Amino acid sequence: MIKHTLALLLLPLALTLAAPVRADVPTVRVEARPVTQTHPIEATLEAVRQATLAAQVPGRVVALTADAGDRVSQGAVLVRIEASAAAEAVAAADAVLAQARANLANAEAAYERARTLTERKFVSSAALDQARAAYDAASAQVRAARAARGQAAAQQAHATIVAPFSGLIAARHVEPGEMAQPGRALLTVYDPAAMRAVVDVPQQRLAGLSAGQMKAHVELPDSGRWLEAAAVTILPAADPRTHTVRLRVDLPAVQQGLVPGMFARVHFATGEASRIVVPAEAILRRGELTGVYVADGDGGFRLRQVRVGEPGPDGNVEVLAGLVGGEEVALDPVRAGIAARAARPRGQ
């Protein structure tokens, strides 16, 4: 009698303790719904605008005002090369130009005198023609000297390397004091505001991807970020060795934390199919086991093994096998597991 009375008194307490465990675990009802089918391909990030600055004149590097990782503005001086030979060439061109201008002034005066004397019948027309030819030759010499001076000045200007656009320095290829030769790389600069993923697609897969307007999402596995492609461009050429076609997938502008060379994965949309999906946080992974906690209808949970596909950009994971529509899945598998163990009879 006492044991029976004690059991009746403990029953409400047991029900009170069990109910919150089930109620505290949030669940979601899974249903089959249209899911975009994708084809993932590995890719590499690159900057839309990237330039490797090279020397155009020989000389010793006397100044480097930027290093890898520095942010620079368009037109900022990055490298200075000693240009004593270019400076001497400019000085020589100035002297030649001054001499040509003096000769032109003299030829112009001689031509004016000859024209005046010809009008007075003091000299022949042949003398006027000769003076005119000398004037024209002097004018041509001035133009040639002016062009040579401009060429020398341009060579001197090439000794100062400036940023072609605002961006970041990706790499420095030279040290102060080293000799720079025409064509030698000095710095690499890129614009981080515009990035894209470059992917090589097998040509047999391209026909299935290019039907209609191509859509894609870019996955960054290291950070778990997903970005919707702003545009997809198919380059009109195939690699004869790998038989692949290169695609450029433009990313949304001004994305933080992206640098050229990063690994990415591009998911190209190939169609739609009805699939069951669950939030990624509902998936429990223990070694080789992948499962979810499913509500058993009696206030508890049961662990069920499932086979899942790739995660999507919306944070959901496609369930290929193990679930049917209408079932409730725990969103917190850890708390659901605690609840399941608490509801399990001792000894089991």
- C-alpha 136/C-alpha 115 separation (Å) is 14
- Tens place of pLDDT for every residue, the chain, 348 residues? 444 433 333 333 333 333 444 547 888 787 777 777 778 889 999 999 999 999 888 888 888 898 998 999 999 999 988 877 677 777 788 888 888 888 888 888 888 887 887 877 777 778 778 888 888 888 898 898 888 888 777 777 788 889 999 999 999 999 988 888 888 999 999 999 999 999 998 887 777 665 556 788 898 888 888 888 888 888 888 888 988 889 999 999 877 888 899 999 998 877 777 777 888 887 888 888 888 888 877 777 888 888 877 777 777 787 878 777 778 888 877 777 777 776 665 545
Tell me what pLDDT residue 1 has: 40
Query: How many CB atoms lie under 10 A from the CB of residue 142?
Result: 19
Tell me what pLDDT residue 4 has: 42
Q: Residue 18 burial (CB < 10 Å; 0-12/13-18/19+)?
A: middle
Residues 193-230: b if buried by 16+ CB within 10 A, e if exposed? ebbbbbbbbeeeebeebeeeebebbbbbeeeeebbebe
Tell me what pLDDT residue 165 has: 93
**And the tokens for 305?**
């093994």
- C-alpha 25/C-alpha 18 separation (Å) is 12
- C-alpha 65/C-alpha 21 separation (Å) is 64
- C-alpha 275/C-alpha 315 separation (Å) is 15
List of residues 6+ apart from 172 with CB closer than 8 A: 64, 66, 67, 68, 186, 187
Query: DSSP string covering 135-201, please?
Result: HHHHHHHHHHHHHHHHHHHHHHHTTEEE-SSSEEEEEE---TTPEE-TT-EEEEEE-TTSEEEEEEE
Tell me what pLDDT residue 19 has: 40
- C-alpha 298/C-alpha 22 separation (Å) is 9
The stretches of 200-246 forming alpha helices (DSSP H) are 203-209
Handedness of CA 240, 242, 243, 249 (dihedral sign): negative
Tell me what pLDDT residue 343 has: 63
Sheet holding 185-190, edge to edge: 50-54, 185-190, 167-172, 71-72
- C-alpha 54/C-alpha 227 separation (Å) is 34
**And the tokens for 251?**
């990313």
Tell me what pLDDT residue 13 has: 36
| pTM, full prediction | 0.64
Please name the amino acid found at residue 63. Answer: A
Q: Which domains can be identified in the chain, with CATH numbers?
A: 22-48+192-343 (2.40.30.170), 55-82+158-190 (2.40.50.100), 84-156 (1.10.287)
